[in-house]
């Protein structure tokens, strides 16, 4: 759809496809996705038409001159002006490479990462069934297909993938085996309180310190927040000298 396409006209005002996209951008992603089809776009366009009609009717009936409306408008104006002032206060804040490097060097303890593993599993009720499944895998059935076919765990929808986890996140019996395995290997049946697991270790990552490159964006964001906080508090403290302020808590 062309961004300049006129979808409707109300009292001389065009409702365009760009207006629809602007409206969708104000919604959360999940809600916006529900209106991504041509039918959904038409629904939004109709809603914009309806809103424009209500706006025109409000003007016609002088609602913009009512005291309640003016009071509400003033509240909105105050809120917008406050946020505008804050945005101007923070405008131009930057972080240098040197600041990022210094923060990283002085705070490496913040960037320690634990040992982690990523594993998949097949969960069944008894050891005999687990061994039968292992035989099928050894005969050529892929682990992922076996998980989808036999596992009692909801992870079967993802081929048994449990994602990445650190020590202490799984039951001890499962964790002990998973962290002792070689990458790509498949375990014998492992008994836990949930049943019998066949574990496939996808990979392991040793504990250590995240590299500067891995955390540079995180540090940049953190330093900007720190600078914003410092500027904000410094500004408001100075303003207390200009405007009488009494605090009762």
Structure tokens, 74: 């003033």
The pLDDT assigned to 72 comes to 97
Q: What is the pTM of this model?
A: 0.64
Domain ranges of the chain: 1-64, 66-114+210-249, 116-206
**Architecture of 1-64 per CATH?**
Orthogonal Bundle (1.10)
- What phi, psi does 137 have (nearest 5°)? -65, -45
Structure tokens, 143: 């682990």
The pLDDT assigned to 118 comes to 97
Q: Domain 116-206 adopts which CATH fold?
A: Chitinase A; domain 3 (3.10.50)
Q: Are 157 and 233 in contact (CB under 8 A)?
A: no
The pLDDT assigned to 109 comes to 93
The pLDDT assigned to 3 comes to 60
CA pair distance 47, 57, nearest whole angstrom: 15
Q: What order of strands is seen across the sheet that includes strand 190-192?
A: 161-166, 116-124, 195-205, 190-192
Structure tokens, 171: 């039951």
What DSSP character marks residue 11?
A: T
- Give residues with Cβ within 8 angstroms of 201, minimum separation 6: 117, 118, 119, 178, 181, 182, 183, 184, 185, 187
Tens-binned pLDDT, residue by residue, of the chain (249 aa): 556 799 999 999 999 999 999 999 998 888 888 888 889 999 999 999 999 999 999 999 999 999 999 999 999 999 999 999 999 999 999 999 999 999 999 999 999 999 999 999 999 999 999 999 999 999 999 999 999 999 999 999 999 999 999 999 999 999 999 999 999 999 999 999 999 999 999 999 999 999 999 999 999 999 999 999 999 999 999 999 999 999 999
Per residue, the 3-state secondary structure of 166-224, as one string, reads ECCCCCHHHHHHHCCCCCCCECCCEEECCEEEEEEEEEEECCEECCHHHHHHHHHHHHH
The pLDDT assigned to 47 comes to 95
Same fold, 1-64 and 116-206: no
């Amino acid at each position: 759809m062309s961004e300049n396409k006129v979808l409707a006209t109300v009292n001389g005002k065009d409702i365009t496809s760009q207006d629809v996209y602007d409206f969708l951008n104000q919604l959360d992603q999940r809600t916006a996705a529900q209106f991504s089809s041509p039918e959904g776009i038409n629904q939004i366009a109709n809603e914009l038409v309806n809103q424009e009609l209500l706006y025109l009717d409000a003007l016609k009936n002088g609602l913009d001159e009512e005291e309640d409306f003016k009071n509400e408008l003033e509240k909105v104006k105050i809120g917008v002006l406050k946020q505008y002032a804050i945005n101007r206060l923070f405008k131009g804040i930057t972080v240098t490479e040197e600041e990022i490097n210094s923060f990283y060097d002085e705070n490496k303890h913040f960037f320690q990462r634990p040992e982690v593993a990523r594993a998949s599993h097949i969960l069944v009720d008894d050891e005999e069934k687990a061994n039968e499944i292992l035989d099928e895998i050894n005969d050529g059935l892929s682990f992922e297909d076996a998980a989808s076919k036999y596992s009692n765990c909801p992870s079967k929808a993802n081929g048994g993938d449990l994602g990445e986890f650190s020590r202490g996140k799984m039951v001890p019996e499962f964790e002990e085996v998973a962290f002792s395995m070689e990458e790509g290997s498949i375990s014998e049946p492992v008994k836990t309180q949930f049943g019998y697991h066949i574990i496939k270790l996808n990979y392991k990552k040793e504990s250590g310190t995240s590299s500067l490159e891995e955390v540079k964006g995180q540090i940049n964001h953190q330093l900007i927040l720190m600078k914003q906080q410092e500027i904000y508090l410094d500004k408001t403290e100075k303003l207390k000298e200009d405007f009488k302020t009494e605090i009762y808590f």
